[in-house]
Copies of this chain bind each other. A is one copy, B any other.
Amino acid sequence: MTPGEPSRWLRGGERVLASTRVLELRSVRYRHPEGGPERDFVVAHAPDWVNVVAVTPGGLLVLVRQFRFGSGGLSLEIPGGVIEAGEDPVAAGLRELAEETGYRGGSARLLGSVHPNPAIMDNRCHFVLVEGAAPAGPVKWDDDEEIEVLTAPVADVLAWARSGAITHSLTVAALMFFEGARRV
């Protein structure tokens, strides 16, 4: 432990509070490393997610708009979804892009990864950049998915992410990473 660094608590046992299709809510016991208290913390366990920044050869970014059952409204986002067990994040990104929008990519690579919420969630969200994206087949939506596919110039989408016109925090964060990659 570096001087001044906060303590890293030690993880103990856990019990499941509720198990659902999208996440499992757990109570996890942690112990302070310096013989301190033991406490239970709520952790939402979920598989890793992937979000895809897909750019066409003409410099347009591929967006999706759909009804979201958490917020109860329409949301403008980049494509994305749940990574399957054992699936590579880049492969998952290309799969989600194709399923949700019908677009397929030229090249694809990992832009970076975040914790959607390190305070209460244990998973990560990976951001994948797909360049040379073009319409290449029918969409393949999940049950209950009904998705509007749009494209817009990169500069416009970045401005929407900075101004609050895009409100999904993971889409905003992905576009911050994308902006970083463009400056290198």
- Give me the interface of A with B, judged by CB distance under 8 Å: 4-9, 11, 17-18, 20-23, 25, 27-28, 30, 37, 39, 41-44, 65-75, 112-122, 124-125, 144, 146-148, 159, 161-164, 167-170, 172-173, 175-177, 179-181, 183
Contact = CB atoms under 8 A, between A and B. Distances in A.
A162 B148 contact: no
B70 A147 contact: no
Number of copies: 2
B71 A115 contact: yes
B115 A75 contact: yes
Residue of A44, A119, A161, A181 contacting most chain B CB atoms (<10 Å): A119
Contacts of A17: 18, 20, 25
Contacts of A44: 23, 44, 70
Contact of A162 (B66, B162, B176): B176
A69 B9 contact: yes
Contacts of A118: 68, 70-71, 73, 75, 167-168
Given A113-B167, A173-B176, A175-B176, A4 B71 contact: no
Contacts of A119: 22, 68-70
Residue of A8, A22, A72 with most partner-chain B CB within 10 A: A72
A162 B180 contact: yes
A122 B42 contact: no
A51 B22 CA distance: 26
A76 to B, nearest CB: 10
A28 B72 CA distance: 11
